[in-house]
Amino acid sequence: MNAALITMDAATSPETPARFAPRKLARKVELVSDDEDAQLMLAYASGEMRAFETLYSRHRAALYRYLVRQARDGEIANDLFQEVWSRVIANRARYEPRAKFRTFLFTLAYNCFIDHCRRVKARPGGLGIEDADAADLLPADEDGRPEAVLQRDECSRRYRAALAKLPPEQRDVYLLHEESELSLEEIARVTGVGAETAKSRLRYAVGKLKAALAAAEQP
Amino acid sequence: MNGPDDEFDDFLSRRKPLFRRPADDLQPPEEIDRVVLRRAREAIEIERPQRAFRGANWGAPLAIAATLLVVFTVVLHFMQPSSKAVPEVTVQQVAQPVAAASPTVTTPAWRNDSQSWLAQIEKLRAAGRNAEADAELAAYKREHRALAVDPNR
């Protein structure tokens, strides 16, 4: 198991005993000198609240969008959002920055969502969300004409339908790519599959969404 | 060549977005922001007192210094030469032994008058109590010598 996975395992199991003893700050900073977020996380672990505030302000919106689009339910997304940050807080002492903080954060988010699906014994399907944000992915149309609004709504409906029809694995990969801005290798690590598998899933997801939007744009 | 693979690679490398995305203003509710930040703050505030207790680097040296000071003071106290205790003297303590040691001595009446005193001496001699007579005579002489020295008596 590589170092990044060790870090993520520790982070996703807050109840488990501290298998990974925290090291001194200097050593940790040395490991992640290129990841400012990781240094902020270490600073928070050593008691600096301002570091957490910076970290939170940087990632809150992207994480929230990811969870809203995954859960397609505002209330569930709110709960999951709080749970993810609670795990970040709970794991601050065990945090070892051997991967980017963003990878760590979205691993928590992904696992929280999977845990939620296991609890409810289903993954969300259909068009349960009133997600105006889905329309943001559509071609921008600032024209307020009724026909343009109707066309944009239709595109949005088709897009959401296409997103909902995606197999969960493809949707996971696609949303991680869109919201977390992780690399394909990092997405593969988060979802626990090989990089080629992740790439293939992403390719299928993008193809289906593109086709859905193309159909919506046709008059 | 500009096939689907190139397009997908561009998408992967984020050089060319598949979907044009306007500014996305989807944000978590402010109430949730407050909850998360409060939890984060509480987590480190709970930890701080424990750290202060554990990490009090000056605590052990201070305790050792205080102990040494007490031990040194006690040892010094017992090593000093012990001065004899001077009992407290009170008027009652002095008066009681004096009173016990000196019972009231009544002066014979014949000593108040020199003629009677001398007559008493003669009586003692006549009775053969010469030692007593000599003692009385000596006392008589001391008394009268003292009177001669101290004219105020």
Work out the burial of residue B26: count CB atoms within 10 Å of its CB; fewer than 13 is exposed, 13-18 middle, 19 or more buried.
middle
pLDDT beyond 70 at A181: yes
Per the document, the length of chain A is 219
Q: Residue A195: pLDDT above 60?
A: yes
Q: Which residues of B touch A92 (CB under 8 A)?
A: 43
pLDDT at A72: 82
Q: Check CB contact of A62 with chain B, cutoff 8 Å.
A: no
Give, as one character, the DSSP assignment of residue A86.
H
Instruction: Give A94-117 pLDDT, tens digit per residue.
Output: 888 878 899 999 999 999 999 999
Q: Which residue has the higher pLDDT, B149 or A189?
A: A189
Q: How far apart are CA A177 and CA A184, in angstroms?
A: 8
Residue A136 pLDDT level (bands cut at 50, 70, 90): very low
Between A150 and A64, the more confident residue is: A64
Average of pLDDT values for A133-155? 58
Q: Is the pLDDT of residue A33 over 60?
A: no
Residue A8's pLDDT band (boundaries 50, 70, 90)? very low
pTM over 0.90: no
ipTM for the assembly: 0.71
pLDDT at A58 (0 to 100): 93
Closest CA to A106 of A133, A84, A79, A74: A84
Residues of A in contact with B32 (CB under 8 A): 78, 81-82
In the predicted model, what is the mean pLDDT of chain A? 76
Both tokens of B93, joined, read: 């303590």
pLDDT recorded at residue A188: 93
Q: What is the pLDDT of residues A47-86, one digit of tens each?
A: 999 999 999 999 999 999 899 888 888 899 999 999 999 9
| Residue in this structure with the two tokens 């205080």, named with its chain if needed | B66
If pLDDT is split at 50, 70 and 90, which confidence band does A141 have?
Answer: very low
CB contact under 8 A, B44 and A49: yes
Locate the DSSP E strands across B1-113.
none
Task: Spell out which chain B residues touch chain A, with contact meaning CB-CB distance below 8 angstroms.
Answer: 8, 11-12, 14, 18-24, 26-29, 32-33, 35-37, 39-41, 43-44, 47-48, 51
At residue A145, what is the residue type?
A: R
Best residue in B19, B24, B33 to probe A by mutation, most A CBs within 10 Å?
Answer: B19
Q: Does A90 touch chain B (CB under 8 A)?
A: yes
For B27, nearest residue in chain A (alpha carbons): A61
Mean pLDDT by runs of 10 across the 153 residues of chain B is 68 68 71 95 78 64 91 88 61 57 67 86 90 90 74 52
pLDDT score, position B104: 58
